[in-house]
Structure 1
C-alpha cells in the first residue's frame, strides 16, 4: 500500500513527538508499505517567524523566511528516520525532484505537479526511498519559493496523494479525528468514525480546524483520507475516515417555489425570530427549501403548492409579533443550484455565474451561497434559458 502521511506542527512540536512520528513511519515501512511524508513547521515556528518580520518585506523574501520552519522539520524527520534504518530523503523547494510547482499567478500548475509527483512515486517503488517533503511550500517555474496559503500542508499531502496514486492519505494532527462537537465546550463529544467530504468541507469553512478546505478538493473516490491523533502512534488504523469526493453538479429543481418575505423593524436583533417563524411551517408539514435574511427581513422559499397555506401561517406570526410588519408572497420562482468542491477556490465564481445571466437580461431574485454551492433564484419563465447559460460555464 502507498501512503502519504502528513504531520502537523503540533505532532512535531518537540523531540519526543518527532521520535513518535518517526516510529510510526518506520513501522509502516517495516510492514511493507511505501510511505511519503509531508511535514509542517515544528510547533508554532511559522507564526514566530511571521511575527519576527517587523519590517517591510516583499512577498518573495517573506516566503523564503517562513519556509525555514518546514525546512527544519524535514531535516529533523529525515535524521530520525535514518537513525531507524529507513532510507529517507528530504525534499524542499530547489531540490532535485521537488514536486509542487506553481504558475505565474501563484496557483498550482496541475500538469507539472502531477508529472513530478508521479516521478517521485516511481522512485519510491524503485529505490525503496521514503521522501520527506516540506508541506505548505511550492516553487514557481523560475525557481522562487512560493506558498500554498493557510492549511497548505494539508493541501500538499492530499494533492500529492492524488498525483502519486496513493491508496491513503493520513493527516496526523492534535485532534481525535472529527468530533461530534468541541470537547472543550460540550460534554460527551466523541469521535466520528466516518464523514463525507461535503460534510467536512462545510464544517471546515465554518471554523472546524481538522482538514484545510483547500485540501479536500483533491480527494478522490479511490483514495482514502484519514485523520488521526499524533498520540495514536499507528499510521494505518484509527481516527476518522473521510469518504467520497466532490462532484460538480448543476441542478434545476423540479417544480416551482414560492418566495415568502417577512419584514419587520430590527428583525435581525430579535433572538429566536427565525425559530418562531419556521417552526409553525414545520408543524404544518411545509418543507423550507431555502432561507435568506436581510437587515429587516427574512425570506423563506417553499414548494409553490404550499404558498397560500404558508402565507396564512406567517401572517398569523406577523399579527402576533410587534416587531414584524408584513408578509409578501412571490409565486413561480425557479432555483438552479451549482455544487462543487472547487467553487470556493475560484476567485470571482459568483460573477462567473451572475454576469452571463445579467447579459441575457435575466433578473435574479436571489443568490444564496454556502461553502460548496451557489443557488440562483429566477422567475420560472426564465428557468430553461438560465439553466442553459449556467451549463455552458466552465467551473
Structure 2
C-alpha cells in the first residue's frame, strides 16, 4: 500500500466549512489509492477557544506562579485532540471510517524536555494495523510520550514535526503540509505584492528560509524529512493549486525543472533584532573574555546570532525582547557594550550561489542604490545575511527581490 501523510494547520480545521474542505482533500487522496495518515493542529489561532496559545494564556493568567512544564503539556495537548475528534466525525458522516490516535497511541516517543520535546523514535505498528483495516488514521500533532509514559509537546511547529516523523517512519510517498497559503513564496507577500509561488525548492533552501523568518513550515520538520528524502509538498487547503514541492534534487515527479540560473531562490527577513558591539582594547584583551561572555549568555538561555569576532571587537545580535537582560549580564562581567536596537536581518537564499562571483556585489549595489545602510554582513554557501535598520527592512526586501528578478 502506498502511503501519504497530510498535515492540516489550525486555520484549516477552525470552522465546520473548513473541516469539510479538509475532508475533501483526505477522501480525494483515499480515492487515489493512498493509505492516509492525517495530522492535525489545534483549531484556530490565539484568541480562538481551543488554540494552543489561548490555552497557554488561560492557565498563565489564572496562576500567580510559573506553571509546571509537565502539567502545562497535559493542558496543551487538549487542542489537537478536539480537532482530531471533530474531523473524524466529519469523515464518518461522509461514509469513511476514521480512527483518532493521540501522540502516545501513534507511537511517537520523545525525550522528557517538556514544552519542547524532541522525537526520539516512532513505533508505527498500531498505525499500520488501522491502515490495513482500511481506516483513515488521524493523529494529534504537536505531542508525544516519553518512554515512561509522560505526555510531552514538541514546541513551535510541532505538528509539522509530527507529520514529517510519521512520513519517515512509514516511508510515505509524500508528506503534504496544508496551510492557508498556496506554497513557498519568493518573499513575504505582505511586503512584496508580486512575490512568486515557487514550484520546486530544495530541503536546504527551505530550511534556510524557515530559519530566517519564512514561517510556512518548521525547519525541524524539513530536517527530519531529509533523513529519508521524503518529498514534502506545501499546499493550500482552500485551493487546488499544486503548491511547492520540497525534495533533495529540485525535481517535480517525472519532470526535471531546469533552474541552474536561479542564483537566489528567495528573500527572508527577521524584524526586531538588536546589534550588540563590544570593543576590546589591549589591556582588556584576555583570552577568556570571549568564552566567559558567550558562556554567560548561553547559561541564561539567550540565543545569539550574526556573530563576528575580531581581535579588537565582538559583534553579534539578539532578539529585541532579550536586549535588556543581555546587556545586564554583559555589564556584570565588567564588559562595556553598545546596543543598536530596532534592526532587521535580511537573508538572500539560494542553493546555487556557491562559487558564483558577484552575488555580494549585487546585494550591496541594490541596497546602496536605495540609501539603505548595511550594518553587518555574513555569508554561507547558500545564504548571504545583511543587517539593516528596521525602518529600511521592507525597502531592503523589495530591492533585493527586484534585483534578483524573483517576481
TM bin, normalised by shorter chain, reads 0.5 to 0.7
Shift of 1:4: 0.2
Out of 99, 106, 128, which is 2:107 matched to? 99
1:61 aligns with 2:61: no
Q: Is the 8 A contact 2:178 2:236 kept in 1?
A: yes
Structure 2: 5+ residue stretches without partners: 46-50, 250-274, 278-305, 316-377, 384-407
Shift of 1:124: 4.3
Q: Is the 8 A contact 1:201 1:372 kept in 2?
A: no
**What SS class does the counterpart of residue 99 from structure 2 fall into?**
strand
CA shift in 2, pair 1:214/1:370, >3 Å: farther
Shift of 1:372: 9.5
Out of 195, 199, 204, which is 1:198 matched to? 204
1:226 aligns with 2:233: yes
CA shift in 2, pair 1:30/1:139, >3 Å: same
Out of 83, 88, 111, which is 1:78 matched to? 88
**Who wins on radius of gyration, i.e. which is larger?**
1
Give RMSD over aligned pairs: 3.0
Structure 1 residues 1-395: aligned runs within 5 Å: 1-44=2-45, 45-53=51-59, 54=61, 55=63, 56=65, 57-93=67-103, 97-105=105-113, 107-108=117-118, 110-111=120-121, 113=122, 116-117=123-124, 119-220=125-226, 222-233=229-240, 238-244=242-248, 293=308
Shift of 1:294: 6.1
Give aligned pairs, total.
254
Shift of 1:185: 1.1
Q: Is the 8 A contact 2:127 2:137 kept in 1?
A: no
Shift of 1:110: 3.1
- Cα displacement string for residues 169-211 of structure 1 (whole angstroms, at most 9, x for unaligned residues): 0000011200111111113111000111111111111110011
Q: Is the 8 A contact 1:34 1:124 kept in 2?
A: no
Q: Is the 8 A contact 1:196 1:243 kept in 2?
A: yes
- Cα displacement string for residues 201-252 of structure 1 (whole angstroms, at most 9, x for unaligned residues): 111111100110111111135421000011125xxx700001118xxxxxxx
Cα distance in 1 for partners of 2:192, 2:313 equals 32
Cα distance in 1 for partners of 2:211, 2:118 equals 21
Cα distance in 1 for partners of 2:119, 2:219 equals 19
Cα distance in 2 for partners of 1:298, 1:127 equals 61
TM-score, normalised relative to structure 2: 0.57
Cα distance in 2 for partners of 1:371, 1:29 equals 41
Cα distance in 1 for partners of 2:276, 2:138 equals 55
- Cα displacement string for residues 26-48 of structure 1 (whole angstroms, at most 9, x for unaligned residues): 12112221110000000021111
TM-score, normalised relative to structure 1: 0.59
CA shift in 2, pair 1:121/1:72, >3 Å: closer
